[in-house]
Amino acid sequence: MSQDSLRQRHLRVLRRALLATALAFGFGFALAPFYDVLCEKVFGIRPSQVADEVAACAGGVVRERELLVEFDTSIHPDLPWRLDAARKSVKVHPCEPATVVFTATNDGRIALTGRAIFTVAPSEAAIHLSKTECFCFTEQRLAAGESREMPVRFVIDDQLPADVSRLTFRYVFNPVDTPVDDAGGTTTTHS
């Protein structure tokens, strides 16, 4: 075959390959919006959850749904404290504010500072839980023998997945040697 037609065939391959390259480069960027759509519509994950929170609880308390919230506490071995919830569990409706009183007691002989770490199970519930008051927001200093009642106020919104009917709040008191900045909350709460 003639040299010209070979050149044309090379150019055809080159053109198509460059077009494919440009498309693949564009595809990389197209993945950005596609990713959000795929997460939300196909897998039900909402990366932009914050926007939905505003709409949550717009319909008021959901009487027909009841949630069981259980409380679990523990204390670091280095801290001679006790932490008790007034009730082991409480039944609440979505969007209904609830208050539970916790009592911390320092059985030791010196004043100590502790900080509670909060976790909620199942973890999917974390973003649907709002706390307006909690002893875990700040460090607690208890004199020797002192006992303190500390209310926890929370509300669980109506966007909580339907298969979740039981939640566990867990508080772990850890000793604080040097007081830290109170502004930064603990990492696991969505208050």
Q: List residues near another protein by CB under 8 A.
A: 6, 9-10, 13-14, 17-18, 20-22, 24-29, 31-32, 35, 43-45, 47-48
Rounded-to-integer distance, Cα 132 and Cα 147, Å: 22
Task: Closer to another protein by CB, 62 or 164: give it.
Answer: 164
Q: How far is the CB of 124 from another protein (least distance, A)?
A: 11
The nearest distance, CB 180 to another protein, in angstroms, is: 23
Return the structure tokens found at 81.
């404290």
Residue 163 or 177: the one with the smaller Cβ distance to another protein is 163
Q: Which residues contact 70 (CB under 8 A, 6 or more apart)?
A: 88, 89, 166, 167, 168, 169
* Smallest gap from residue 169 Cβ to another protein (A): 22
Question: Minimum Å distance from CB 15 to another protein?
Answer: 10
Closer residue to another protein, CB minimum distance, 32 or 183: 32
Q: Taking the complex as a whole, how short is the minimal distance between the CB of residue 188 and another protein, in angstroms?
A: 15
b/e for 65-103, b at 16 or more Cβ within 10 A? eebebebebebeeebebebebeeeebebbbbbeeebebe
User: In the complex with another protein, which residue's Cβ is closer, 22 or 180?
Assistant: 22
Q: Please name the helix (run of DSSP H) or strand (run of DSSP E) that holds residue 31, with its range, or none.
A: helix 3-37
Helix, strand, coil percentages (3-state) for the chain, rounded to 5, are 30, 35, 35
Nearer to another protein, 16 or 91 (CB): 16
Give the type of residue at 19.
Answer: L
